[in-house]
Amino acid sequence: MDLVAYVGTAPGRGETVLGREFTTVPGGKGANQALAAAKAGAAVHMIGAVGRDEFGEQIRASLAGSGVDTSALRAVDGRSGTAHITVDDDGGNSIIVVPSANATVDGLAPGDEELIAASGSLLLQLEIPFEGVAAAAAAGRRNGVRVVLTPAPAAELPDDVLSNVDLLVPNEHEAEALVGEHDPKRALAALLERVPEVVITLGGRGSLYGSRGGEVVEMPSFPVRAVDTTAAGDTFAGVLSVALGEGAGIREALRRASAAAALSVQRNGASSSMPTRQEIADFLASV
C-alpha cells in the first residue's frame, strides 16, 4: 500500500515540513506493473503475497477491479507491504519501502511455475527477496517465457538472477548502481555484457534501448507537466511488456510505454494514475 504525503519541498535530514495532503493508494511495484499491463489490454495474473489486514484486502480488490487475476496472490499473517512516499511540487518523489508480507515470497508456491509457463511475459522487480526473483526468473527461462526485470529498489544483482533475464528495465540511477557508470550510454553498454536487452529510463529525457549486436535506440519523452512521477517507471515497464508481447517493434513499444508514462505523471497516485489502452491510443493520436 502506498502512503503518500504531498509537500511543497521534501524535508532534509532532521527537518520537519508541513504537508498539504495525505492519501493511501493501493500500490507496490509488482502490483503497479500488473495493473499497468492489465489496463494496457493484457490478461494478467499476480503472484505474490499480502498480509491479512485491511491493506491486503484493498490491494486485492484494486487488482481484481482492473481485471488482474489474484488467485496466486496469497495471504499471510502480518502486515501487507507499504511504501512511504513524499511527493514535492515538481512531481519528484522519495520512497521508503517496508516489505512485510512481500518478504515471504522467497520461492515459488505450488502452481506458480505452471502459471508462469502459460504466460507470454514475466514481469519481476526487487520488492521480494532475491531467492523469489531468482526462482521465478529460472522458471521463466525453463519455459521459454520472456523475463523482464525492473531492478528496483536498486541493489547489486546476483548472477543467478541476471543469467535468466531477457530484458532489464532500470532507471538511470539503478543502472549506475548496477555497473558504476554515470553516463547512460556507457551504462547501457556495460549492462549488455550481462543481459541480452536493456532499456534505461531517463525521466523527462526519455529512454535508451540496446541489444547485443543491435543498434541503440533513443526515444524522447512526451513533454507534459508532471505532478507525481511515482508510477512512471512501473507504468512504462508494464506497457512496454504488453507491446512487445503483442509483437510490436522496439520503437513502437517504447513509444507506447513513453505515452503511458507521460499520462501517468499528470495524475496523482500510483495505481490511480495508470492509463487505459484507449487513453494511450487517444494520446498518441493527438501528438
Binding-site annotation: residue ranges for substrate: 28-32, 127, 234
Q: Which residues participate in the annotated binding site for K(+)?
A: 228, 230, 264, 267, 269, 273
Do the beta carbons of residue 134 and residue 161 sit within 8 Å?
A: yes
Would you give the distance in Å from CA 211 to the centre of its chain?
A: 20
**Region class of 198: left (phi > 0), else alpha (psi between -120 and 50), else beta:** beta
Rounded distance, CA 110 to CA 214, Å? Answer: 39
Cell of 264: 501517468
Alpha-carbon dihedral 193, 148, 245, 65, rounded to 10 degrees: -170
Active site members: 234
Q: Which residues are annotated as a binding site for ATP?
A: 171, 201-206, 233-234
The beta-strand segments (E) located in the chain are 2-7, 19-25, 48-51, 73-76, 82-87, 93-98, 121-125, 146-150, 167-168, 197-201, 207-211, 217-219
Cβ of 123: how many Cβ atoms within 10 Å? 29
Q: How far is the C-alpha of 99 from the C-alpha of 106, rounded, in Å?
A: 12
Taking a C-beta distance cutoff of 8 angstroms, is the pair 195, 166 a contact? yes
Which pairs from 247-250 meet CB under 8 Å and 24+ separation? 250/209, 250/211, 250/217
Positions at the binding site = 28-32, 127, 171, 201-206, 228, 230, 233-234, 264, 267, 269, 273
In angstroms, the CA 235 to CA 66 distance is 14
Residue 140 near residue 122 (C-beta atoms within 8 A): yes
